[in-house]
Homo-oligomer: A and B are copies of this chain.
Amino acid sequence: MSEENKTKRQRAIVLLSGGMDSCVTAAVANEEYKLIFLHANYHQRTEKRELKAFNDIADYYGVEKRIIIDLGFLKDVGGSSLTDETIDVEISGNKTNGIPSTYVPFRNANILSQAVSWAEVLIADAVFIGAVEQDSAGYPDCRKVFYNAFNKVVELGTKSETNIKVITPLIEMKKSEIVKLGIKLNAPLHLSWSCYINEDRACGECSSCVLRIKAFKEAKIEDRIEYIK
Contact = CB atoms under 8 A, between A and B. Distances in A.
B73 A158 contact: no
A70 B69 contact: no
Contacts of A150: 153, 157
Contact of A106 (B99, B105, B116, B152): B116
Contacts of A146: 153, 156-157
B156 A140 contact: yes
Interface string A2-45: 00000000000000000000000000000000000000000000
Contacts of A157: 106, 108-109, 140-141, 146, 149-150
29 contacts: A70-B73, A73-B117, A77-B118, A78-B121, A103-B159, A105-B116, A105-B120, A105-B121, A106-B116, A106-B117, A106-B120, A106-B154, A106-B158, A107-B117, A108-B157, A109-B153, A109-B157, A110-B117, A140-B156, A140-B158, A140-B159, A141-B156, A143-B156, A145-B156, A146-B153, A146-B157, A149-B152, A149-B156, A150-B157
